[in-house]
Amino acid sequence: MSNIREVARLAGVSVATVSRTLKSPERVRQATRDIVNAAVEQAGYRPNLMAVQFRSRRTGNLVILVPKIANSFFARVISGAQSAAQAAGYRLLLCDTQGREEIEREFAELVYAHQADGVIQLRAYDPFPTGSAEPPPMVNACEVIQGGRHPTISLDNHAAAKAMTEHLIGLGHRRIGLIKGPQHSPLTQARVAGYQAALAKAGIPSDPAIICHGDFSLRAGYDGAAALLTLSDRPTALFCENDEMAIGALKRIKEAGLRVPEDISVVGFDDIPLAHYCDPPLTTIAQPAEGFGRKAVEMLINLIEKKIKPEQHVILPFELTIRESSAAPSVRQLG
């Protein structure tokens, strides 16, 4: 069986350099890492991971808690987190929690059991007991706890929803329906507030009759659109708080024999890949999903390794992406 000395001989470096490359690759130049990794493969060397973990008191595992893995936006967040973790020499342990607190607490326990080094939480819930003076390493991204004790990464959802609503108002729409996300979600609350702020600024009263509850699912968009289309004074535009609901709404509108945007404009939020390929392509708010994942991993590793004090609250940029699903209302719509 090969050992670390054999790897050092093949690589032409010291045993200490091999050890440092395996334990702390970020401290070694890329060229040296490549030589050592090639020697490891050539020698068939497999380090004693248990011994490495014991000495470093680290496992190399990061837990990411995902409320709904089937959601297209979260899939992109995970992709960004996975590539960042792999580049830094960490493994990502994925947990699809379905938003259930007991599952989140169970996986957070892996940190206390020394089976993981830290947690990325993508929902506004702290799975760790509040009694400890210094909580375990955790980064809260996407849907964040307001005033929480962990570093956060978020979008200015209020400003983004306000910008989208102002886009529709600028086109001439005055009756803008809204399909919301889950009622208790901070994302929903911020986006509703942004929508209402834009209406108030334009002197347009907010009408509860054209605001529907949803849950960020395709079905919620479909059902919300169905309800709004039955109104005698139906909206001329529909703002869905995520793209999946907007896609569901597009389907229901077409089933009703109506055209988008000629009969009603539809806009979303997230800019998932499918938004570009809808018929018509979807006007939406683009937010950097992969960037959420990459930044969360970076901040968490800084917490774990205590090399750099992580930023406490990071706000990532958004972009209003205008495509063919939004247009000025027709004379018939306004009449």
Residues 6+ apart with CB under 8 A from 196: 206
The CATH code of domain 59-154+289-315 reads 3.40.50.2300
Q: Show pLDDT as tens, one digit a residue, over the chain (335 residues).
A: 567 888 888 899 988 888 878 776 767 888 898 898 888 888 877 665 444 444 446 789 999 999 999 888 999 999 999 999 999 989 999 999 998 999 999 998 898 888 999 999 999 999 998 766 678 899 999 999 988 889 999 999 999 999 999 999 999 999 999 999 999 999 999 999 999 999 999 999 999 999 999 999 999 999 999 999 999 999 999 999 999 999 999 999 999 999 999 999 999 999 999 999 999 999 999 999 999 999 999 999 999 988 777 778 999 999 999 999 999 998 666 65
Q: Which pair of tokens denotes residue 59?
A: 């496992």
**Domain spanning 157-287+321-334, CATH class:** alpha beta
Q: Which pair of tokens denotes residue 54?
A: 């014991």
| Residue 319, φ and ψ in degrees, nearest 5 | -140, 130
* Residues listed for the chain: 335
Domain 4-55 in CATH 1.10.260.40? The answer is yes
**CATH topology agreement for domains 59-154+289-315 and 157-287+321-334:** yes
Q: How far apart are CA 282 and CA 41, in angstroms?
A: 48
Q: How far apart are CA 11 and CA 16, in angstroms?
A: 12
Per domain, the residue ranges of the chain are 4-55, 59-154+289-315, 157-287+321-334
Q: Which pair of tokens denotes residue 257?
A: 């024999």
- Alpha carbons within 13 A on the beta-carbon side of 62: 31
What 8-state DSSP symbol labels residue 25? G
Q: Which pair of tokens denotes residue 293?
A: 């994942």
For the chain, give me the number of helices (H) and strands (E)?
A: 12, 12
- For residue 118, CA distances in Å to 55, 63, 125, 274, 301 come to 18, 6, 15, 32, 8
Under 8 Å between Cβ of 220 and 186? no
* Three-state secondary-structure class, residue 121: strand
pTM here is 0.80
